[in-house]
Structure 1
């Protein structure tokens, strides 16, 4: 496993992070989830990503159990705040009240005194940004959070936050967590250039496009049973890729992967890691062998000709529109 700096910070993270969005506490049994975490540790993965909202807070509990007994200094734990975790009007968003209550709940569930990276899971249009950033900065000063990041923020939103942080002397954002893959490249237009200039690293999710880039979804055929496409919690993300034109072109990547001695999944993960602004790629797993397979993408170098071939194959079906990123930042209190 190779390691990279998280943006311009001094924190080193594993090139591949283990994430438990749809698995822990929902898709797979706890014993299997813990086995996946242990497989990740065996492969040298030290960075683990979760969120308070995943599986209704259960994902953090399972991750906490799985990491119990592991030397805390040897791992990096990332979690997030924003989405509703209760029925009340203050059980959501990025208000000072919700941030403080959310971090205390996360620390309790994770069984730790601090998290390495605390991320604003979306932009909150209803809370003053100064309030959010002051709350995060206070948590840093209290030692409950070491670094602050965001998830699916636009370049303009990140710029606003950096300006306020610089003016008020707050800790700066060091990372952004966007969706990024061979098929979904919307961050390349505005987010990546701005973040490179400001020293902010990308911790990308869905590098395999919710399993589409493994090649298991075939054009003209229904999705395999028990796949991400049949899970009501995850099907919204994957459905945009389940078109025959996309699936046909994904199948054309097989000989490229084969010539390199890689699986389709390894090729997909290695591809996002070629972007120097990517600090880490998040992968999930419902079985230990999946994480072992994906971990082998660390350190893989794809030359310019391979990258050109991939672009040639996928070009017509790649999503590059930056407006798509803006569409993923909804109001904090959806009706």
Structure 2
């Protein structure tokens, strides 16, 4: 975030010109995007919102120890966003599974900076403000829970593995992804991976992968997608999402070295207010490794 306080969500709300709307930051580590997607779906299903912007973003470099090759070579900064809207289509979040196990909190942790270990010269000297990870324990945890969470979400949606068009997992580790896919017998061609390009971008990894899946033609309107993620906490989440009609092309900005430039994004035309409030659709998504490019979406949230 730009500041420790206020949360970046309120700054985005202001930049969009979204007057008198709620904005909040949800912190759930790497599964944060899936958690936020579920929260957005609940707001829409309850009739409280018609349009919800969900952003998954992380700036891991701010607490990365560049001398620790067990972590610094794995992680990257990134951001991605989707817009969900009330719809009368049979689409949206069909099912989800959320989980947490705080007994493993120390497996992936920044030890200092909170009330447990307030910042001091000693904590700075000892490097306790950097991310620390027990890779072996995190790996065992992830391979134990991810496949099961994915299987549960598929079953709750009343579907089978054959109904899944594409599996878009959190991009943390290729072997972990392959383990989850094997658990539900998903063939390799239905698994999306881009970890070799970006590394682990935490809560941004699924929306970035979703964006690229559309770019590459591997995801399209009407497809049923499976999301699954795990992270610090320890936490995990899975969701089955059916894609509704997309009324805007994907917006992408990959370079953070130059001044952000907007690629063409058609206005969100043909977006109608539907009578049903229990389904949603993904309208647009975008990616910026450092900044989030949202200006073209502002008209949807004004007024």
- Bigger helix fraction: 1
Where relative contact order (Cα < 8 A, 6+ residues apart) is larger, the structure is 2
- Bigger strand fraction: 2
TM-score normalised over the length of structure 2: 0.30
